[in-house]
Structure 1
Amino acid sequence: MSSAPDNAVRDHVTAHATAFLADLVDWLRIPSVSADPGRAEDVRRSAEWLAGRLRATGFPVAEVWSTPGLPAVFAEWPSADPDAPTVLVYGHHDVQPADRSDGWFGEPFEPTERDGRLYARGAADDKGQVWMHTLGLRAHLAATGRTAPAVHVKLLIEGEEESGSPHFPALLRAHADRLACDAVLVSDTGMWDEDTPTVCTGMRGLTDCQIDLFGPAQDIHSGSFGGAVPNPATEAARLAAALHDDRRRVAVPGFYDGVVELTERERALFAELPFDQERWLRTAHSSAALGEEGYTVLERVWARPTAEVNGVSGGYQGPGGKTIVPARAQLKLSFRLVAGQDADHVQRAVREWVAARLPDGIRHEITFWGATRPCLTPLDHPALQSVVRAMSRAFDDRPVRFTREGGSGPAADLRDVLDAPVLFLGISVPSDGWHAPNEKVELGLLLKGAEAVAHLWDDLPRHWQPARD
């Protein structure tokens, strides 16, 4: 088969855009909020909706997979070529909570189209970016004259991502044989902005904890005992203050062990992006930028490990004064990790650091809430270059730049369990307002995302033959 001409792909996407968007609107009306136990049935209904529509799209296999929590959806459409690469597309069908009283101008689960934008919870994160794969795959088939895709396409659409993916690693392990692939394609990320097509190459990992500090057996009089016994609130503050050194580096010994440093090429690629610090600060609702010395803002949030104090509490919090030495205090910390760091090692280092800094008379307990590992795709990987070419074709041969995500997700679990490189293809932009009131997706970008998907399935088997045992 010849390569799919760009105009044939675009013609198909344009001709079927109305039906595609009607289906997406139908799906967005299902309030699949995984964090709300009262919406569990809606999450199941969302999974059943997706499986049914995928079968209608042409997928020979589309199944709802149960977990101890909420269901995922698996689908598969094999290629006619048994030697073609196998790509697993990951996304999620659950969404964040939303209520009109949060500041929505309409009902969050009644999609509204305005000025080329579709407003609804899940429009960008992540139902819109999942559903674009159906239009992209059909455009690939129509433009190439195929009855089956040029690659083996599998989908795994999770139902608990917005709740921390508690059952996802076990689901991957349980179904590893059916999920086996040569590459994973994650469509749960975005682009730099509407005018700058970009491809993400990595996400940071995460581990976070709560430190409970205990001093006197009860609150005691600060006049009678203060200054002569250890104060857990003071020690919580001292820990928070000691978390970084004078250069804003994390001061926990061993924290930076294994960190993969940015190359000069990567720093140069970041510097090519049209970064407007004042605009970024407005988005961050901050009046100044601050962080590790020697790195730019983008380098800090994409490629450097960080530690943040998420909360400090303890003692009297009511109106007026209450002169006590409190019995207990609490400190919440989170650590974003980059390639080369090991979460277990970081957790041990934090435990040792806390224990070494606390005085006698302060008992403490540390609770870690699991960990998400970092994920990074080498810039020279041939499958990544296929994603870049596909995005460029969809955006009329514009140059495609590279970004990373400062946040975290299950990409590393997919990589590690399935032993496959992770690629990212997303079209959402910062103004889409993930997790915020009036979340939206740019309809023009959503259709371009479908075009990129169509071009990717055509390009990938032409330029990459994965090594297999």
Structure 2
Amino acid sequence: MSSSIPDSAVRTYIDHHRDGFLAELSEWLRIPSVSADPDRAPDVRRSAEWLAAKLTATGFPVAEVWETPGAPAVYAEWPSGDPDAPTVLVYGHHDVQPAAREDGWRTDPFEPEVVDGKLYARGAADDKGQVFFHTLGVRAHLAATGRTAPAVNLKLLIEGEEESGSPHFPDLIQRHAARLACDAVIVSDTGMWSKDVPTVCTGMRGLTDCQVDLYGPDQDIHSGSFGGAVPNPATEAARLVAALHDEDRRVTVPGFYDGVVPLTDEERELFAELPFDEAEWLRTAHSHATLGEAGHTTLERLWARPTAEVNGIGGGYQGPGGKTIVPSSARLKLSFRLVAGQDAGKVEQSFRDWVAARLPEGIRHEITFWGATRPCLTPLGHPALQSVVRAMGRAFGGKIRFTREGGSGPAADLQDVLGVPVLFLGISIPSDGWHAPNEKVELDLLMKGVETAAYLWGDLAENWRTA
């Protein structure tokens, strides 16, 4: 019943309330909630309190500010009253990246401005705009269906430290796991392929990264007197890097690919449907050629294959001119992007064993891993994912295609702790300029996000009964 409501009822409600919605969003965007800047801590708190108050005004009977040792998060819930309805948790964040006029902004980054149908402000797309569209979306859902509560049990968790690496987020969700219990998580901190090609993301890669410190002589020594007769840590660092991939650009660490979930033929075909312009992508990447694991396309490498990247390599003399030494130390910084099926702990141990086996006597080493983010992947046939696709299809009036995300994020923490699938609902496009000067959101797409949310809750309730 709910998903069969006329689209016109939803769109009429949204049109009538668009101006008020944008005025409220602009008010929120004026709060410079930069979590990375200690001086902005009061603003991050003000942002959390502002959002909690607006969620209460929206109709959520519960809206709370949750404390962490760092910046506060916001939690809200609105029960449906139906014991068989699914419970859905929406995740986003209210903190933003640093921004200043001198960075290249045309206007004050915390004074929102609408130009040619685009709203410019820090946080407009990442992530306040995409969080806030759920407030108007749920109101449109209620108005069009005549309900007094959403068709699903709706929960929101909006963190305040995502732009600072979410250092306290895992502990927060562990501590509140019982209240966060749900059947699915919807992440509204993501984007689409383009304005003309709406897409749903079905997964993110995981990440583990490390530093490898190599030590040889107790001090820098003369390369003429000792070079070629003692191990050189800079040489061994280079040898490790050179051995990390084979001639097909596959990672050589034993067991690295254990458990990797391969792409299905259907997924490869769906990726191939996307209008990928490799030359344009290379310009975006500021690079001059593609290169990666043999047998896979660029998109497959980015979204569905694990990687090992050298983030930094150094050791010995780096000043002007020459200095003929055997350096006493060298250092590598590496990151491993992981895909569904891989275990970060096993990858880390395999890498440790691989390094130890390749280093000669006389080279001491230390490896420091900084923690891991697990990958997440939702099967194409999952009923909740199909509801997202149908809701977006109604809002955009066309076919919805599928992508994945090559990067990593805290969504996997929710998946691990709550034991539920993670879905992605975002309307941002690459030109929105996340983390860059003149960040913006397309207002028409923002309204499509509102409309998608309005359709989604009824579709989930009808097509995904959990009892």
TM value normalised by structure 2: 0.98
- Deviations along 1:312-356, whole A, 9 cap, x unmatched? 111122222222211111100000000000000000011111111
Q: State the distance in 1 between where 2:412 and 2:66 align.
A: 21
- Residue 85, structure 1, aligned to residue 94, structure 2: no
- Which residue of 2 is the match for residue 432 of structure 1? 432
Counterpart Cα distance in 2 of 1:116 and 1:294: 42
Pairwise CA distance, 1:101: 2.4
CA distance in structure 1 between the aligned counterparts of 2:358 and 2:332, rounded to whole angstroms: 14
Q: What's 2:141 paired with?
A: 140
Equivalent residue number for residue 320 of structure 1: 321
- Kept in 1, the 8 Å contact 2:92–2:157? The answer is yes
The 5-angstrom pairing of residues 18-37 of structure 1 reads: 18-37=19-38
Superposed, 1:246-395 pairs within 5 Å as: 246-395=247-396
TM-score (norm 1): 0.97
Any residues of structure 2 matched to 1:17-166 within 5 Å, and which? 17-166=18-167
Residue 169 of structure 1, CA deviation = 1.4
Superposed displacement of residue 173, structure 1: 1.3
Tell which deviates more after alignment, 248-257 or 110-119: 110-119
Q: Alignment partner of 1:16: what SS?
A: helix
Quote the offset at 1:9 in angstroms.
0.8
Q: Contact between 2:84 and 2:466, CA under 8 Å: does it hold in 1?
A: no
Q: Secondary structure at the match of 2:416?
A: helix
Give the Cα separation in 1 of the matches to 2:37 and 2:58.
30
Report deviation, 1:240: 1.3
The one-character-per-residue Cα deviations of 1:384-441 (angstroms, maximum 9, x if unpaired) are 1100000000002x01111100011112211121121111111011111111222111
8 Å contact from structure 1 (residues 202, 376) kept in 2: yes
For 1:175 and 1:123, the matched residues in 2 are separated by: 29
**8 Å CA contact retained: 1:4, 1:458:** no
Measure the CA separation in 2 of the matches of 1:221 and 1:292: 40
SS in 1 for 2:275: coil
1:102 shift after superposition:
2.2
For residue 453 of structure 1, what is the aligned residue in structure 2?
A: 453
- With 130-139 and 417-426 compared, the bigger mean Cα shift is at 417-426
Shift of residue 89 of structure 1?
0.4
Residue pair 1:47, 1:71 contacting (<8 A) in 2 also: yes
Judge conservation of contact 2:119–2:440 (CA < 8 Å) in 1: yes
Q: Give the corresponding residue for 1:7.
A: 8
Report deviation, 1:71: 0.8
Q: State the distance in 2 between where 1:262 and 1:135 align.
A: 37
Whole-angstrom distance in 1 between the partners of 2:230 and 2:30: 58
Runs of 5+ unmatched residues, structure 2: none
Give, in whole Å, the separation in 2 of the partners of 1:466 and 1:314. 57
Aligned residue for 2:414?
414
How big is the shift at 1:304? 0.3
**For the residues of structure 1 that align with 2:43 and 2:315, how far apart are their CA atoms?**
39
What is the aligned residue count? 466
Distance 1:26 1:317 in 2: 50
| Aligned residue number for residue 444 of structure 2 | 444
Q: Distance in 2 between matches of 1:230 and 1:438?
A: 51
Stretches of structure 1 that go unaligned for 5 or more consecutive residues are: none
Moved more, 293-302 or 280-289: 280-289
Point out 4+ residue stretches in structure 1 off by more than 3 angstroms. Answer: none
- Paired residue for 1:240? 241
Using the TM superposition, give the Cα deviation of residue 4 of structure 1 relative to its aligned residue in structure 2, in angstroms.
2.3
1:256-303 Cα distance to aligned partner (Å, 9 max, x none): 011001111110110011111111111111111110000000000000
Displacement after TM superposition at 1:147 (Å) = 1.4
Name the residue aligned to 2:175.
Answer: 174
How far apart, CA to CA, are the structure 2 residues paired with 1:226 and 1:97? 48
Q: CA shift at 1:112, angstroms?
A: 2.1
**Partner Cα separation in structure 2 for residue 227 and residue 37 of structure 1:** 50
Mapped pair 1:202 → 2:210 = no
The separation in 1 between residues aligned to 2:377 and 2:384, in whole angstroms, is: 13
